[in-house]
Amino acid sequence: MFGYRETQTHRALDDVRLNAKVFFRLLDLLDREREIDIASEALPLVALGIHASGLPPTDYNLWLAEAGARAAACGLGSALCKQLTDEVADTGELDNHERWLAQLPHADLEEDRRWNELMQRWHNALNLYRQTFDDPSLGAFVRYVKLASSFDYKGHDDDRVTLMTIHSAKGREWPLVFVVGTEDGTIPSFRAMTEGEIEEERRILYVAMTRAKRRLCLSQVKSLRGYKKEPSRFLKAIPVSLITERTIGPAPRRQ
């Protein structure tokens, strides 16, 4: 990548020198990337500088000023502007320049709105992952994002519950989880005939069970449409000491 063609000598000092060369080149790349990142953050300061210098807002100056106004409207450069406020002697004059910048017409494009929404969803996904999972590796986070959906990144009301299929629950956790229909014929499905299909049904149930962080409730019916139902055979592997059973009778009929 950097054009070094040194032969491999299997000597520690030569390896260290080559690593040092590559390291300094990587630092140069990092500096250039930082310059690109800081460019958009500095646009509001550029616009303020144009207005403070008294230059006519025409041609390139107008283009830069409008770009600075757009960047400021998107929340860019706020830290640099605060730092500027701490450094200047006449904050009143600076306030006048900032009011001018805020009133300067700029394009409020739909792309900006979509980008801000995308960034917000990304931050929400990252914060949710940090709260839920202990693995800080990038690979684990990427797998989580792959399994998750946009539903995960939206706020949830405390007086509502999340209802979804077991398959779509992968990658998520909740303090309390209800799994409905844990009887034979449902889990495992009556369509599961082969040993491989039954084992896959077992795996799916266990995945659903691991979604609970503190408490897990498994429900099954004793009869359905006149047919007696038995609890799922998979539940027999759960130690009895971990189970608390509760029977709920039929709801009273309405008159």
Q: Which pLDDT score, from 0 to 100, does residue 22 have?
A: 92
Residue the block writes with tokens 């207005």: 51
**Phi-psi category of 185—alpha, beta or left, where left has phi over 0 and alpha has psi -120 to 50?**
left
Per this entry, what is the length of the chain?
255
Closest alpha carbon to 48 in 68, 63, 29, 27: 68
What pLDDT digit, counting tens, does each position of 78-90 carry? 777 777 778 777 7
> Do residue 163 and residue 227 come from a single domain?
yes
The domain that contains 216 carries what CATH number? Answer: 3.40.50.300
172 and 99 housed in the same domain: no
Domain range for 41 is 12-103
Please check whether residue 130 lies inside any domain of the structure: no
Residues 93 and 166 in one domain: no
pLDDT of 254 reads 47
End-to-end CA distance of the chain: 81
| CA dihedral sign, ordered 15, 16, 19, 25 | negative
- pLDDT < 70 stretches in the chain: 36-37, 106-112, 146-162, 168, 170-171, 249-255
What is the token pair recorded at 110?
Answer: 């739909």
Same domain, 17 and 81: yes
Domain boundary (103, 121, 137) is at 103
Amino acid at 124: N
Alpha helices (runs of H) in 74-109, residue ranges in sequence order:
78-87, 91-103
One domain for residues 23 and 97: yes
**Is 93 in the same domain as 17?**
yes
Contact 169, 208 (CB under 8 A): yes
Q: Is residue 203 in a domain?
A: yes
CB-side neighbour CA atoms (13 Å) of 20 = 6
- Whether 225 is covered by a domain: the verdict is yes
- Domain membership of residue 232 (yes or no) is yes
- The answer as to whether 110 is a domain residue is no
CA angle 138/169/183 to nearest 5° reads: 145
For 6, the token pair is 């040194």
pLDDT digit string, tens, across residues 197-229: 888 888 888 888 888 888 889 988 888 888 888
Domain assignment present for 128: no
How confident is the model at residue 245, as a pLDDT? 79
pTM score, two decimals? 0.37
Rounded Cα distance, 79 and 180, in Å: 51
Among 82, 103, 124, the domain boundary falls at 103
Domain count for the chain: 2
Residues 96 and 162 in one domain: no
68 alpha carbon, distance to own chain's centre: 29
Within a 10 A sphere around the Cβ of 88, how many other Cβ atoms? 12
Q: Are 162 and 231 part of one and the same domain?
A: yes
Q: Are residues 16 and 96 in the same domain?
A: yes
The confidence score (pLDDT) of residue 23 equals 93
**Is residue 135 domain-resident?**
no
25 vs 1: CA distance, rounded Å: 10
Residue 151 lies in a domain: no
Closest residue by Cα to residue 153 from 176, 172, 178: 172
Taking only the tens place, the pLDDT of each residue in 42-71 is 888 888 888 888 877 778 888 888 888 888
